Amino acid sequence: MKLRIHVTLKPGVLDPQGKAIEHALAGLGFAGVNGARVGKLIELDVAEGTADADIDAMCRQLLANTVIENYRVEKA
Amino acid sequence: MKLRIHVTLKPGVLDPQGKAIEHALAGLGFAGVNGARVGKLIELDVAEGTADADIDAMCRQLLANTVIENYRVEKA
């Protein structure tokens, strides 16, 4: 079973990498970029029938830092 | 207009970060994880009516390294 896990910074958490992208796009001449935030996209291939609770535990224990990051699991 | 850009490594490109996740999950006792790949998720807030060609140019020039990465743009 393929999972796609989106890990994004919580609103309010500073994102220097996003800021760098925003400035770099402006520097390249792309006007109208008002914000950029960078997160992680983790594609996992887990055994068929893996429980949602296990997937959640993987995210909490390893994949996302829930103090500053949100995560969303998408089954593909 | 909010864009979500998924940047993923092309198949065949080695992904040490993904391998590390795979081994770490096994070490934590999660069995059945057969693969992990890590990509980037970039959320951009661009001006309404930004042309698709411009978005594509942003990805090619800055956001993705098209030699080793694929990208997919999703309008949210």
| 8 Å CB contact between A22 and A36 | yes
Residue A9: predicted pLDDT = 97
Which residue in A25, A38, A57 is closest to B40 by CB distance?
A38
CB contact under 8 A, B25 and A54: no
Q: Tens digits of per-residue pLDDT, A1-51?
A: 999 999 999 999 999 999 999 999 999 999 999 999 999 999 999 999 999
CB contact under 8 A, A41 and B36: no
| 8 Å CB contact between B70 and B5 | no
Residue A41's identity, in one-letter code, is L
Pick from B7, B22, B23, B30 the residue to mutate for testing the A interface (most A CBs within 10 Å): B30
Q: Tens digits of per-residue pLDDT, B21-34?
A: 999 999 999 999 99
Residue A69: predicted pLDDT = 98
Residue B52: predicted pLDDT = 95
User: Looking at the DSSP assignment, which residues form a beta bridge with residue A40?
Assistant: A7, B40
Q: Tell me the chain A residues in contact with residue B46 when contact means C-beta distances shorter than 8 Å.
A: 32-34
Residue A76: predicted pLDDT = 81
- Can you spell out the DSSP letters for B25-58? HHHTT---EEEEEEEEEEEEEE-TT--HHHHHHH
Q: Is 90 exceeded by the pLDDT of residue B13?
A: yes
Residue B76: predicted pLDDT = 81
Q: Which domain holds residue B66?
A: 2-75
Q: Is 90 exceeded by the pLDDT of residue B44?
A: yes
Distance from CA of B46 to the nearest CA of A (A): 4
- What CATH number is given to the structural domain containing B53? 3.30.1280.10
| Integer angstrom CA distances of residue B64 from A12, B38, B49, B72 | 26, 14, 22, 10
Residue B28: predicted pLDDT = 96
Q: Which residues contact residue A23 at a Cβ distance below 8 angstroms, ignoring those fewer than 6 apart?
A: none
| Total domains in the fold of chain A | 1
| 8 Å CB contact between B32 and A50 | yes
CB contact under 8 A, A37 and B42: yes
Q: Tell me the chain B residues in contact with residue A6 when contact means C-beta distances shorter than 8 Å.
A: 41
Residue B68 DSSP symbol = T
In which order are the strands placed within the sheet that holds A2-9? Answer: A69-75, A2-9, A33-46, B33-46, B2-9, B69-75
- CA separation for the pair A37, A45 (Å, rounded): 26
